């Protein structure tokens, strides 16, 4: 049986909904403002990074060397799948010799950097969120401030620099692994001569293709590091709060990586 609302009930309900929306909007804009200043402070602290070069190296190892296996696994898997699927499609048009070019463009421009970004968002971003969140709830971040150390310069800027340095070579490794696995599948699954595959890759690639792909690395580095660190710093409410802030960091940074991936491609392809 349907419940009927009286007009005054509907007005009260609408008012409550309106108040909730206004409050949510206020919280959203306040958070954006906080995030903006947090990001500015992380960049402004870059000159202090030489004091924290050990932290930069540690973070470079975590987001670079330690993340390499997962980046390679995802690149190999997507390169191989792409070669199989695109090869099947091209075969229908009798254009299998174009397989090298189409997979190279997809991997170098889009999938190599995108998968690397998503993998690092999950691996490096979650680590940042959980570690900084745990430090926040155990008052270690307050302790840094209380004893005169800027927690953003000490904890966030080294992560940001390490990501900016390491995401570029990781993109290159991701592209390389993706292309190699695509070439392998082209030869062994589609019985395409490797010479034909690579001949369609090298001469056809232009600077724009690399600019699109490699410009994404620093953009993703900034997004992933700042979003995950900000969420770690904002953790409240004990261990479950750390869990919530970590998840939020991964979800938001992954979403932003996908959006940024689209816009970087669009802007570069339209302007180069």
Partner 1 sequence: MIELRQVGLKYGEREILKNVSLCIKDNTIKAILGPSGVGKSTILKLMLGLIKPNKGQVIVDGTDITNMNETSLYAIRRKMGMVFQGNALFDSMTISQNLGFFLRENMRLPEEEISRRVAEQIQFAGLEGYEEQLPENLSGGMRRRVAIGRAMIFKPHMILFDEPTAGLDPVSSKKILSLISSLRKNNNLGAVIVTHIIDDVFNVADSVAVLYQGEIIFDDVTEKLHEANHPFIRSILSDNILEL
Q: Does 43 bind partner 1 (CB under 8 A)?
A: no
Whether the Cβ atoms of residue 33 and residue 142 lie closer than 8 Å to each other? no
Least distance from C-beta 135 to partner 1, angstroms? 8
Q: Which two tokens stand for residue 153?
A: 């310069």
Q: Does 187 bind partner 1 (CB under 8 A)?
A: no
Whether the Cβ atoms of residue 176 and residue 112 lie closer than 8 Å to each other? no
The residue (of 91 and 142) whose beta carbon lies closer to partner 1 is: 142
The residue (of 54 and 191) whose beta carbon lies closer to partner 1 is: 54
Indicate which single residue of 110, 122, 154, 165 sits in contact with partner 1 (rule: CB under 8 A).
154
Q: Does 89 bind partner 1 (CB under 8 A)?
A: no
Indicate which single residue of 66, 85, 142, 193 sits in contact with partner 1 (rule: CB under 8 A).
142
Helices (H) and strands (E) in the chain, counts: 12, 0
Q: Does 148 bind partner 1 (CB under 8 A)?
A: yes
Q: Reduced to 3 states, what is the DSSP secondary structure of residue 154?
A: helix
Q: Does 33 bind partner 1 (CB under 8 A)?
A: no
Indicate which single residue of 5, 145, 188, 236 sits in contact with partner 1 (rule: CB under 8 A).
145
Whether the Cβ atoms of residue 157 and residue 52 lie closer than 8 Å to each other? yes
Q: Does 140 bind partner 1 (CB under 8 A)?
A: yes
DSSP string, 177-198: HHHHHHHHHHHHTS---HHHHH
Q: Does 149 bind partner 1 (CB under 8 A)?
A: yes
* Stretch touching partner 1 by CB under 8 A, among 13-21, 109-117, 149-157, 199-207: 149-157
Return all residues near 58 (Cβ < 8 A) that are at least 6 apart.
158, 162
Q: Does 34 bind partner 1 (CB under 8 A)?
A: no
DSSP string, 11-51: HHHHHHHHHHHHHHHHHHHHHHHHHHHHHHHHHHTGGGGGG
Whether the Cβ atoms of residue 160 and residue 125 lie closer than 8 Å to each other? no
Interaction with partner 1 in 110-139: which residues (CB under 8 A)?
138-139
- Given the rule CB under 8 A, which residues bind partner 1? 138-140, 142-143, 145-150, 154
């Amino acid at each position: 049986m349907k419940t009927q609302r009286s007009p005054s009930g509907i007005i009260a309900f609408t008012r409550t909904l309106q108040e909730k929306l206004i409050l949510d909007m206020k919280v959203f804009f306040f958070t954006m403002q906080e995030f903006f200043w947090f990001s500015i402070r992380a960049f402004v602290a870059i000159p202090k990074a030489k004091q924290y070069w050990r932290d930069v190296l540690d973070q470079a190892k975590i987001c670079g060397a330690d993340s390499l296996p997962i980046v390679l696994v995802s690149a190999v898997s997507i390169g191989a799948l792409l070669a199989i699927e695109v090869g099947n499609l091209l075969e229908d048009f009798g254009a299998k010799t174009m397989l090298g070019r189409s997979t190279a463009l997809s991997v170098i421009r889009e999938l190599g950097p995108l998968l690397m970004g998503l993998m690092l968002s999950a691996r490096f971003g979650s680590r940042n969120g959980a570690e900084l969140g745990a430090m926040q709830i155990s008052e270690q971040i307050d302790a840094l401030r209380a004893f005169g150390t800027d927690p953003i310069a000490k904890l966030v800027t080294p992560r940001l620099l390490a990501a900016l340095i390491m995401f570029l070579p990781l993109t290159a490794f991701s592209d390389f692994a993706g292309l190699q696995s695509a070439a392998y599948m082209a030869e062994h699954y589609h019985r395409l001569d490797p010479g034909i595959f690579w001949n369609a890759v090298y001469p056809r690639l232009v600077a724009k293709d690399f600019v699109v792909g490699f410009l994404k690395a620093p953009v993703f580095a900034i997004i992933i590091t700042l979003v995950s660190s900000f969420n770690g710093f904002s953790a409240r409410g004990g261990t479950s709060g750390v869990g919530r802030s970590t998840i939020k960091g991964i979800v938001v940074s992954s979403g932003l990586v996908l959006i940024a991936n689209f816009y970087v491609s669009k802007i570069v392809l339209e302007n180069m």
